[in-house]
């Protein structure tokens, strides 16, 4: 029997709610809009029209996959982060809203650095953090780097999608190796590296564990492998007075602060996300002796 857009939406919303999906209304509406090619406004205008049975079946098939645990971002092929619509596929981690505080801090530090600031997003995934910086800091240059060829492909798509070809580029680079010669002299290095302790991977929520790439999650035995190696190897290419900014997992801020201090960073501090979890840790690379003297004269 024919069904209207609105009744199909309500059906799916009900099923999502029963399954305990938190953003049931939003996800149900996004699914209907995405498959039928309608904007949110068009959906509201057309909601009492009948939907074709082919579209209805396509939408119901995706809704079933969602109910089986597949994340909405992968079903839709896109997700929004810091006001940007980004391509997402199963080769990259889905941008989290928690990560917006990391982007915020990187934007702040990049703005402070003044004109022609250079920013590196290491372990970029979709490129979400670097693109948020590249879009919100006038006159900045951003490099997105990731070890996965698939992530680099997604980054390229997102650079194009956000019309950032003029100031954002990307490279395939392994954060665990020494920085390649083509990358040098950054005012800000920002990174959301894999940080889940290997032993905790099996206990993650099914929609993360079974669908998101393990490469983007596994931070080694204590989850801190990437912080140790990035801090030690990549500090060499941070400009004097530049910043290294990390996203960290729950209960990791203290350990990551200690790593930064041990490697010679100053002004090390942590900031919370909207849920009150310490999510951002940053440290400043010291200036050279001459610059310190200049600064103290002012």
- Positions touching ligand GLN (CB under 6 A) are 93, 96, 192-196, 208, 217
- Least distance (Å) between residue 53 CB and ligand GLN: 38
Please tell me the distance from the alpha carbon of residue 125 to that of residue 197, in angstroms, as a whole number. Answer: 19
Give 56 or 218: the residue with its C-beta nearer to ligand GLN.
218
Give 90 or 96: the residue with its C-beta nearer to ligand GLN.
96
- Least distance (Å) between residue 194 CB and ligand GLN: 5
Please tell me the distance from the alpha carbon of residue 226 to that of residue 286, in angstroms, as a whole number. Answer: 22
Q: How many CB atoms lie within 10 A of CB 240?
A: 15
Give 36 or 158: the residue with its C-beta nearer to ligand GLN.
158
- Least distance (Å) between residue 200 CB and ligand GLN: 10
**CB contact at 8 A, 77 and 65:** no
Please tell me the distance from the alpha carbon of residue 117 to that of residue 106, in angstroms, as a whole number. Answer: 11
Give 9 or 82: the residue with its C-beta nearer to ligand GLN.
82
b/e sequence 155-184, b meaning 16+ C-beta within 10 Å: bbbbbeebebeebbbbeebebeeebeeebe
- Sheet of 238-247: strand order equals 168-172, 141-146, 118-122, 186-191, 238-247, 278-284, 266-272
Q: Which residue is nearest to ligand GLN (CB)?
A: 195
- Least distance (Å) between residue 45 CB and ligand GLN: 37
Give 179 or 193: the residue with its C-beta nearer to ligand GLN.
193
Nearest alpha-carbon partner for 174 in 238, 233, 217: 233
- Least distance (Å) between residue 86 CB and ligand GLN: 16
Give 246 or 265: the residue with its C-beta nearer to ligand GLN.
246
- Least distance (Å) between residue 58 CB and ligand GLN: 29
Give 130 or 193: the residue with its C-beta nearer to ligand GLN.
193
The 8-class DSSP code of residue 223 comes to S
- Least distance (Å) between residue 98 CB and ligand GLN: 6
- 159 phi and psi, to 5 degrees? -60, -45
């Amino acid at each position: 029997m024919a069904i209207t857009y609105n009744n199909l939406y309500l059906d799916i919303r009900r099923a999502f709610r029963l399954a305990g999906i938190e953003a049931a209304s939003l996800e149900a509406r996004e699914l209907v809009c995405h498959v039928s090619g309608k904007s949110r406004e068009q959906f509201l205008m057309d909601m009492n029209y009948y939907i074709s049975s082919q579209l209805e079946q396509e939408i119901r098939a995706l809704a079933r996959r969602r109910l089986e645990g597949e994340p909405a971002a992968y079903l839709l092929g896109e997700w929004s982060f810091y006001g940007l619509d980004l391509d997402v596929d199963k080769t990259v981690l889905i941008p989290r809203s928690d990560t917006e505080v990391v982007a915020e801090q990187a934007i702040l530090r990049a703005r402070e650095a003044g004109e022609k600031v250079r920013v590196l997003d290491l372990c970029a995934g979709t490129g979400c953090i670097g693109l948020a910086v590249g879009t919100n800091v006038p006159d900045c240059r951003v490099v997105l780097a990731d070890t996965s060829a698939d992530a680099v492909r997604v980054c390229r798509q997102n650079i194009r999608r956000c019309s950032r070809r003029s100031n954002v580029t990307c490279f395939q680079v392994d954060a665990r190796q020494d920085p390649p010669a083509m990358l040098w002299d950054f005012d800000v290095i920002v990174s959301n590296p894999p940080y889940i302790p290997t032993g905790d991977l099996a206990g993650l929520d099914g929609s993360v564990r079974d669908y998101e790439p393990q490469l983007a999650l596994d931070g080694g035995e204590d989850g801190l492998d990437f912080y140790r190696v990035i801090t030690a190897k990549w500090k060499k290419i941070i400009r004097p007075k530049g910043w290294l900014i990390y996203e960290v997992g729950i209960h990791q801020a203290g350990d990551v602060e200690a790593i930064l201090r041990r490697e010679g960073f100053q002004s090390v501090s942590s900031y919370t996300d909207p849920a009150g979890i310490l999510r951002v840790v940053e440290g400043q690379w010291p200036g050279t002796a001459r610059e310190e003297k200049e600064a103290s004269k002012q």
